[in-house]
Chains A and B, each alone.
Chain A
Amino acid sequence: MSNRVAVIGVGQTKYASKRPDVSIAGLLREAAQRALDDAGLTYADIDAVVIGKAPDMFEGVMMPELYLADALGANGKPIMRVHTAGSVGGSTAIVASHLVEAGIHERVLTVAFEKQSESDAMWALTVRPPFQPSTVGGAGGYFAPYIRAYMRRSGAPADTGMRTVVKDRLNALKNPYAHLHQPDITLEQVAASPMLWDPIRYAETCPSSDGACAMVLASESAAAKAPGKPAWVHGTAMRSEPTMFAGRDQVNPQAGQDCARDVYKAAGITNPRKEIDCAEIYVPFSWFEAMWMENLGIAPLGEGWKMVQEGATGMDGDFPVNMSGGVLSSNPIGASGMIRYAEAAMQVRGTAGEHQLDGVRKAMGHAYGGGSQFFSMWIVGSEKP
């Protein structure tokens, strides 16, 4: 029943804090058109469209697939809209891939986006019913305590997070689409940046970006006709757990562990650190690189920080992470997960340009959302699964 799925087109916009030069639809079309061009297709060749984004309140448009149907050439076709909090960019690609895997469609266009400048994203996040307790500390105040707990649990050196930031921002210099280009960034500079939510410094947080990312997913026969080299989907997985419950481990969430286990199994991987050549991991705050290395079973428990300290996650390390610069360099929230997936596909296709690694055969894309309770992952390969 299960059919092979390939990524035959990838398109991204330049990520920036504001894109007043395009409408919401224009932003999506910029990414979609690039993905179609890459796939050698036009909108007319597409069977179905799947879009994803974080809360509608970020743009002030309810269920935007309705308004976007025309711009995405979806009239007369199916269009769906996925929303799974921060993991949505990844989940959207997975929902689209299932349409091909199930044998329903040959070519599916999937687009994830956020145009936070269109509305007041900070406002949108702080809307809450009057009887719910205030967030007390703002957005970072939600994550910072768990980073502190990780530091306590692992005994990681205090500069671990800063090392991830410097690595990611230097990688971003090789990615023309990245939002932040900080050529002079150094550990000293990050250390000197204001401590916002102790233990998180300003320089250790992700920017807020406008942007869209698109992919064309295709069946085996459609991929055979594509002009470029496809990336083959070897496995996908999505896992969720409740947001608040007694004994919940937010440092090393079970849903993340299970999601990784599922995706490795689907892709036939038994030793992820060895068999996966590189990964694009959702790291919105610096310390999450070390934390997710453990959560995903790449590093032994309590030793994720060692990978960062030893440079294992660097471009020349044994498990490069976020060659594109990652979420720490560009964060159009709803698109951030799909960018991880698309960048993984670019690496196995050999189309990542200046941040391309040599000889990538398998790459992993990862996204998570909310309070670390929603996870989605995929593994793509240069060869058919």
Chain B
Amino acid sequence: MTDAYGVVSRPVRLDYTFTAGKALSRFLTIIEGGKIIGQRCPKCAKVYVPARGSCPTCGVATAEAVEVKDRGIVTTFCIVNIPFPGMAVKPPFAAASVLLDGADIAIFHLLQEVPVENVRMGLRVEAVWKPASEMEMSMESIAYFKPTGEPDAPYDSYKDLL
């Protein structure tokens, strides 16, 4: 069908100025210094990382800052085998949900320094930070996570916190 019709490409360009918001701005400012903060919900006491200024289940503002560790548990993962636009590293690599110690919700990040066939649920991992000169106001200040060598976390300890 395509061959019978001409196609005209007409690019549209729109520029936007985004606003991170109060909570996320604070998180981004602090992560540039190599620390990770979340926020505790005043109602359910869950710690959210990154802090987003609200507890999505209670629908209330969160203010209390809580520092969490830069290490945690791989709660689940996938192996990415195909290249796609904007990719940070060459496939295959593992992308994992990492439940940081002290947090009640996992973040999604890259896993390295471990063969993909050895990646597993329950693996203990820690952040590998970028060199100070490359730190930025972004989750990408963490270059990736790598195994700590600690024993795996038992399934029951994280099965409800994917």
A residues neighboring B (CB under 8 Å) = 16, 18-21, 60, 122-123, 126, 129-131, 133-138, 140-141, 144-149, 152-153, 194-200, 242-251
Contact yes or no, A250 B79, CB < 8 A? no
Q: Min CB distance, A311 to chain B, in Å? A: 28
A249-B160 contact in complex given A131-B24, A134-B140, A149-B76, C-beta closer than 8 Å: yes
Bound CA–CA A136/B138 (angstroms): 13
Residues in B whose Cβ lies below 8 Å from that of A130: 18, 138
Closest to A196 in B: B82
**A residues less than 8 Å from B7 (CB atoms):** 20
Q: How far is the CA of A254 from the CA of B137 in the complex (A)?
A: 35
Interface residues on B, range: 35 or more
A53 CB, min distance to chain B CBs, angstroms = 18
In the bound assembly, the distance between CA atoms of A135 and B20 in angstroms comes to 17
Majority SS at the chain A contact face = loop
Residue among B20, B57, B78, B161 making CB contact with A198, cutoff 8 Å: B78
**How far is A133 from B108 in the complex, measured between Cα atoms in Å?**
8
Q: How far is the CB of A286 from chain B (nearest CB, A)?
A: 14
Interface residues in B68-83 (C-beta closer than 8 Å to A): 75-82
Q: Please, which residues of chain B bring their CB within 8 A of the CB of A147?
A: 78
State whether the Cβ of B159 lies closer than 8 Å to any Cβ in chain A: yes
User: Across the interface, do B77 and A136 meet the contact criterion of CB distance under 8 Å?
Assistant: no
Q: Check B76–A196 contact: CB distance below 8 A.
A: no
Q: Which residues of B contact A196 (CB under 8 A)?
A: 80-82
Q: A145-B95, A198-B92, A198-B116 are in contact. List 7 more A-B contacts (CB 8 A).
A: A20-B4, A131-B28, A133-B107, A134-B86, A242-B57, A243-B56, A247-B46
Residue from A131, A140, A146, A249 with most neighbouring chain B CB atoms (10 Å)? A131
Q: How far is the CA of A250 from the CA of B161 in the complex (A)?
A: 10
A-B contact pairs, 23 of them (CB 8 A): A18-B1, A21-B1, A131-B18, A131-B24, A131-B137, A134-B88, A138-B80, A141-B78, A145-B96, A148-B76, A149-B162, A152-B76, A195-B79, A197-B80, A197-B82, A198-B78, A243-B56, A244-B56, A244-B105, A245-B55, A245-B57, A247-B160, A250-B162
Bound complex: CA A230 to CA B58 (Å): 43
Is B104's beta carbon under 8 Å from chain A? yes
- Interface of chain B residues 86 through 123 with chain A (CB within 8 A): 86-88, 92, 95-97, 104-105, 107-110, 116, 121
